[in-house]
Structure 1
């Protein structure tokens, strides 16, 4: 069916208490929530200056290399980086995978299905704050769902979701995405909006990739790390 952009709808997401963001429209897959709290400035401390910070999601179905975007979501990137450095994420899993439908975006059609691979980063030290200053979700973006530790990888552009999610990284290569199971799944319908949920969950691990110094093009980041400073 066709969805009208910015129509107010609700989809239940288990484990998340989702609320509506100021200035962020409701949409057929999520409800955005803007969390007001003090921000912490993220700086990169390394000599020589490191390249982009990256993390890796890996499982038997393939891996995703993710370039972190602390310029867009400093607090969220710090939390993800800290978890990735541990090299162990026992509660990390995928549980939702919806393909990109035919005619996506044509004449205002934005699903279902909803063009995403969704999972949990339940081992994060805390729930990330909402961080979005007007950025729309693009194909390959990896985003947090507000007010919880759940995330998704966008497998298509999502202008219909407005600015209601925290974009914290970019998947450098999506070629492994079709290898992750799309089925078996069950459907959940609420307010005439139908979403797909996998019958099984699929564990993955999250690890850190040490930044490469920009002036050498090889080697390790010589202690490059994300430092937390209280915002003034």
Structure 2
């Protein structure tokens, strides 16, 4: 199976492409990324400036899902614990999940941040503990719900397995950076199958990036584009549009959506030139990157997407999303 333009299912594949353009002034670079949500629609052209922010900025990521109230045992009562923003509430939960004092005391938070809708509850920050962080207890959701809620995964927690015939990629989810995306992954775990989920594109690092994912000086930025790409759209399931939740940059091991999903990719290199253009919702544990590299070396055939040369797998690699029963010792 390749990329079949005549199939509606295949037509939903988003195309992740990078076209480097060399500038003449101040040695600046401008990069054009072409994303096509369907083969029948016009490509979306995005011009991105050179990235100037540092990787450390990503530590400031602290988001939740609006109109959602998570339940669970309270470790801080919101009636006595208030903040001005959901980010402050999230940070308070993170502070109780440093890993220095054993298991996380707080793994979920609930905040009421709309003064008119919340009334006397405005500013309440409830810090809670879930029985199962991969299946959090929901009290209510919908437009009438005034609460914003989020999850925090501590060391060794929030890890799911992307199982393939070549091995299992252990992925640490990032709910504080991409809460809507992580919710979708948790929904995939609930249906206990991922029929139709697979990798279909594979491009190695070539001579453009070293084994650590660092770009070689004066080399181009592709092709190849140093990634493996696939879809996480399970047959029979409905995908709600996932909003852009850009927080981390694309690093070696980053797992990110193409557009709003369900097309995704795992990066084999550090792509600072992509300037946080994609929603990163997880990261492959370093010791499992050899599996991703193995998939990238499988037999491919050339194709052209929007006039850019890509490599698609001769035989797609099916994958299954599954829970990891035990904590993974090397996870951050």
TM (norm. structure 2) is 0.52
Residue of structure 2 in register with 1:160 after alignment: 273
Residue of structure 2 in register with 1:70 after alignment: 175
Is 2:137 the partner of 1:113? no
Q: Determine if contact 1:188/1:197 at 8 Å carries over to the other structure.
A: no
Q: Determine if contact 1:55/1:81 at 8 Å carries over to the other structure.
A: no
| Corresponding residue to 1:6 among 10, 26, 30 | 30
Is 2:222 the partner of 1:197? no
Q: CA deviation at 1:10?
A: 3.3
Is 2:199 the partner of 1:94? yes
For the residues of structure 2 that align with 1:117 and 1:11, how far apart are their CA atoms?
16
Instruction: Give CA-to-partner distance per residue, 1:97-132, whole Å, 9 cap, x none.
Output: 000021333225211100001000112642322111
Residue of structure 2 in register with 1:25 after alignment: 48
Q: CA deviation at 1:19?
A: 3.4
Whichever of the two has the greater Rg, that structure is 2
For the residues of structure 2 that align with 1:121 and 1:182, how far apart are their CA atoms?
20
Q: CA deviation at 1:141?
A: 0.6
For the residues of structure 2 that align with 1:90 and 1:102, how far apart are their CA atoms?
35
| Structure with the higher fraction of residues in helix conformation | 2
Residue of structure 1 in register with 2:163 after alignment: 58
Q: How do 1:120-199 and structure 2 match up within 5 A? A: 120-123=231-234, 125-126=238-239, 127-133=241-247, 135-172=248-285, 173-180=288-295, 182-188=298-304, 190-191=306-307, 193-199=308-314
Q: CA deviation at 1:96?
A: 0.2
For the residues of structure 1 that align with 2:259 and 2:163, how far apart are their CA atoms?
24
Structure 2 vs 1, CA of residues 84 and 178 (structure 1 numbering), >3 Å: closer, same or farther? same
Q: CA deviation at 1:14?
A: 5.1
Gaps of 5+ in 2: 1-18, 22-28, 50-63, 71-106, 109-128, 134-152, 210-214
Aligned residues: CA RMSD: 3.2
Higher relative contact order (CA closer than 8 Å, sequence separation 6+): 1
Gaps of 5+ in 1: 27-37, 218-232
Q: CA deviation at 1:59?
A: 1.6
Structure 2 vs 1, CA of residues 58 and 111 (structure 1 numbering), >3 Å: closer, same or farther? same
Q: CA deviation at 1:48?
A: 9.4
Residue of structure 1 in register with 2:130 after alignment: 46
For the residues of structure 2 that align with 1:144 and 1:138, how far apart are their CA atoms?
14
Q: CA deviation at 1:9?
A: 5.3
Structure 2 vs 1, CA of residues 3 and 12 (structure 1 numbering), >3 Å: closer, same or farther? same
- Alignment partner of 1:7: what SS? strand
Residue of structure 2 in register with 1:85 after alignment: 190
Instruction: Give CA-to-partner distance per residue, 1:134-188, whole Å, 9 cap, x none.
Output: x310000100111331000001101121111000001012121233253231221
